[in-house]
Amino acid sequence: MDNEVPQGNVPQQGFETLAIHAGQEPDPTTGAVVPPIYQVSTYKQDGIGGLRGGYEYSRSANPTRTALEECFAAIEGGTRGLAFASGLAAEDAILRTLLRPGDHVVIPNDAYGGTYRLFARVAEPWGVSYDPVPLGDLSAVRAAMRPDTKIVWVETPTNPLLGVSDIAALAAIAHEGGALLVVDNTFASPYLQQPLALGADIVVHSTTKYVGGHSDVVGGALAVQDAELGDRLAFHQNAMGAVAGPFDSWLTLRGIKTLGVRMDRHCDNAEKIVEMLVAHRSVKQVLYPGLPDHPGHDVAVKQMKRFGGMISFRAWSAEDAVRICERTTLFTLGESLGGVESLIEHPGRMTHASAAGSPLEVPADLVRLSVGIEDVADLIADLEHALS
Ligand code: PLP
C-alpha cells in the first residue's frame, strides 16, 4: 500500500506532510511554528460561558492536546483522535464505551500481556466474557463469534510473537456479527499500516512506543472515522479523566514529525539483523513478518508498507535466552519498545509475566528485540557477541 492518507474532500497529502503539519498551524498570537506547551488547567471566560477558542478546563480539552489529537487522527486516516495518559488508559476507554456486563469479546491468543490483564482482571470481574482466539485462523474467529460479541480485538503484528492477522477479513467477520473491530496498531505504527482504511472501527496505540519514539513519554491514543463513535469515546475520555497532559502531548507530537524517517531506518536495521539471526547457530527460530516462511507473510505484504523494527527469536533453551538478554551492551535490557535506542528483553519474565499460566503464556526461550536506529554494524556486533 502507498502512504497516502485519505482526507475527506480535500486533496490528499502524504503521510509525512500530515505528520509535520496536521493540527499544527503556526500559533495565531506569536507565529510560533511549533504548537506551544499550554501548561494550564483553566481558561478565562469573557462572561459566563464566553469561551475563547472553546477551552474551559484542561481535562476536557487543552490546545497542545488538541494539536496532537488532530495530527494523530490525520496520520491514521481518521476524523477524530483522542490522546490518553497511557496506551492502557486508551484501551480502557474503549472497554467502558462499548461494553456492558453480559457482553462478550474475541481477543487474540497472543497479545500484549497488559491488554490480556485488562480483559482477564478488570473486564471479566465486571461481567464481560472473552475468548482468546488465534486470529490468523479465520474459521476459529467465525466459530468464536456469539450473538453477544461486541468487539473483535486485534493486535497485528502481535507482541511478542509477531503474529500477523488479516485486518480486512477480520473487519468483515466482526461486522457480519454486529461487532466492532478494534486494532492495536502499536507495533506497526500508522506509517506502516492503516487499519481504518482496511475496515477497522477503532485504532488504538501505545504512543509510548514508535509514535513518541524517544522513550521519554508514556501515552496512548485512539483514532476513529465515525463521528458518533468519536463523540462517545470523547465522553469517556473526559468523564474518566485519563487524559494526556500538555507536556506529554507536546513530546508525542514532536515524535510524530519524524515517525516516517525513523520507521524506515528501524525497518532497514531490522532486515539486516534478521539476516544475521537466521544464519546464526545459537538461534532456533526467527519470528519476523518479513521472512517468506512466516505464516503471516502474505497478509503482511498485503497490509503493511514494510515489516517493522520488532524481531523475536527463540534460543535453544530458556537459560540461553536469559543469558543472551544479559550479555548485550548496546541493546539495553529493558521493557518497552519503539524508541530510537535498541532494547532487548525476555518476554516470559518481563513484559509478559502477567500472562504466565494463561492461554497467552509465551515460550520461555523467547527473546524480543526492539531494533533502534543506531549504526546497524554496531548492533550486529553486539548481538554476535551475546550469541557467541
Ligand atoms: N499495546 C501494546 C501492543 C503494547 O506493547 C503496550 C505496552 O507495551 C500497550 C498496548 C500498553 O501501552 P502503555 O504501556 O502505554 O499503557
Q: Categorize the per-residue pLDDT at 65 as very low, low, confident or very high, splitting at 50, 70 and 90.
A: very high
- In this prediction, what percent of the chain has a pLDDT beyond 70? 97
Q: Which residue has the higher pLDDT, 385 or 3?
A: 385
Residue 166 cell numbers, joined = 488479516
Residue 66: the pLDDT is 98
Largest CA distance in the chain: 73
Residue 88 cell numbers, joined = 492502557
Q: Is ligand 1 within 6 A of the CB of residue 115?
A: yes
Q: Is ligand 1 within 6 A of the CB of residue 86?
A: yes
- What is the pLDDT averaged over residues 79-100? 98
Residue 8: the pLDDT is 45
Q: What stretch of H or E contains 106?
A: strand 104-108
pLDDT digits (tens, 9 = 90+) for 277-311: 999 999 999 999 999 999 999 999 999 999 999 99
For residue 279, count CB atoms less than 10 angstroms from its CB and return exposed for 0-12, middle for 13-18, buried for 19 or more.
Answer: exposed
Q: Is 4 a residue whose pLDDT tops 80? A: no
Q: Is ligand 1 within 6 A of the CB of residue 87?
A: yes
Residues 6+ apart with CB under 8 A from 49: none
Helix-strand-coil split of the chain, %, nearest 5:
35, 15, 45
pLDDT digits (tens, 9 = 90+) for 135-159: 999 999 999 999 999 999 999 999 9
The model's pTM? 0.95
Task: Please say whether the beta carbons of 200 and 224 come within 8 A.
Answer: no
List domains and CATH numbers for the chain.
Answer: 15-257 (3.40.640.10), 260-387 (3.90.1150.10)
**Ligand 1: which of 84, 119, 208, 336 to mutate, judged by most atoms within 8 Å of the beta carbon?**
208
User: Half-sphere exposure (CA, 13 Å, Cβ side) for 319?
Assistant: 0
In the three-class reduction of DSSP (H, G, I as helix; E, B as strand; rest coil), residue 223 is classed as strand
- Locate all alpha helices (DSSP H) within the chain, ordered by sequence: 15-21, 63-75, 87-98, 113-117, 138-144, 167-176, 227-240, 246-257, 259-278, 297-303, 318-327, 376-387
For residue 320, count CB atoms less than 10 angstroms from its CB and return exposed for 0-12, middle for 13-18, buried for 19 or more.
Answer: middle
Q: Is ligand 1 within 6 A of the CB of residue 218?
A: yes
Residue 28: the pLDDT is 84
Q: Is ligand 1 within 6 A of the CB of residue 24?
A: no
Residue 150 cell numbers, joined = 461486541
- What is the pLDDT averaged over residues 321-345? 97
**Ligand 1: which of 203, 209, 312 to mutate, judged by most atoms within 8 Å of the beta carbon?**
209
Distance 209 CA to ligand 1 centre (A): 8
Residue with grid cell 525497518, as numbered in its chain: 267
Give the C-alpha separation, 97 to 101, whole Å: 12
Residue 268 cell numbers, joined = 532497514
Protein residue with least CA distance to atom 7, ligand 1: 206
Q: Can you give the length of the chain in residues? A: 388
Distance 277 CA to ligand 1 centre (A): 26
In the three-class reduction of DSSP (H, G, I as helix; E, B as strand; rest coil), residue 351 is classed as coil
Residue 217 C-alpha from the chain's centroid: 14
- What is the pLDDT averaged over residues 368-381? 98
Q: Is ligand 1 within 6 A of the CB of residue 112?
A: yes
Residue of 81, 44, 87, 50 lying closest to 66 (CA atoms)? 81
What DSSP line would sit under 155-214, residue for residue? ESS-TTT-----HHHHHHHHHHTT-EEEEE-TTT-TTT--GGGGT-SEEEEETTTTTT-S
pLDDT digits (tens, 9 = 90+) for 357-374: 988 899 999 999 999 999
Give the C-alpha separation, 313 to 365, whole Å: 8
DSSP 118: I
Residue 11: the pLDDT is 53
Protein residue with least CA distance to atom 5, ligand 1: 112
Q: Which of 44-48, 94-98, 122-126, 382-386 has the lowest mean pLDDT?
A: 44-48
Residue of 296, 297, 275 lying closest to 286 (CA atoms)? 275
Give the C-alpha separation, 99 to 105, whole Å: 9
Distance 32 CA to ligand 1 centre (A): 33
- What is the pLDDT averaged over residues 113-142? 96
Residue 33 cell numbers, joined = 511554528
53 sits in the region (left: phi over 0; alpha: psi -120 to 50; else beta) called left
Distance 88 CA to ligand 1 centre (A): 6
Residue 262 cell numbers, joined = 525513523
What letters, b where the CB count within 10 A reaches 16 and e where it falls short, cover 89-111? bbbbbbbbbbbeeebbbbbbbbb
Query: What's the mean pLDDT when you consider all of the chain?
Result: 95
Ligand 1 atom showing the smallest separation from residue 218 Cα: 15
What amino acid positions are annotated as catalytic residues? 59, 112, 184, 209
Distance 172 CA to ligand 1 centre (A): 26
Q: Is ligand 1 within 6 A of the CB of residue 114?
A: yes
End-to-end Cα, the chain, rounded Å: 39
- What is the pLDDT averaged over residues 381-386? 98
DSSP 236: H
Q: Categorize the per-residue pLDDT at 1 as very low, low, confident or very high, splitting at 50, 70 and 90.
A: very low
Give the C-alpha separation, 16 to 72, whole Å: 12
Distance 220 CA to ligand 1 centre (A): 8
Residue 190: the pLDDT is 98
Residue of 72, 341, 361, 110 lying closest to 203 (CA atoms)? 72
CA dihedral angle for residue 227, residue 22, residue 306, residue 280, rounded to 10 degrees = -110
Q: Categorize the per-residue pLDDT at 233 as very low, low, confident or very high, splitting at 50, 70 and 90.
A: very high
Q: Which residue has the higher pLDDT, 323 or 7?
A: 323
Q: Which of 74-78, 109-113, 175-179, 221-225 has the lowest mean pLDDT?
A: 109-113
pLDDT digits (tens, 9 = 90+) for 263-282: 999 999 999 999 999 999 99
Q: Is 2 a residue whose pLDDT tops 50? A: no
DSSP 119: I
Ligand 1 atom showing the smallest separation from residue 219 Cα: 15
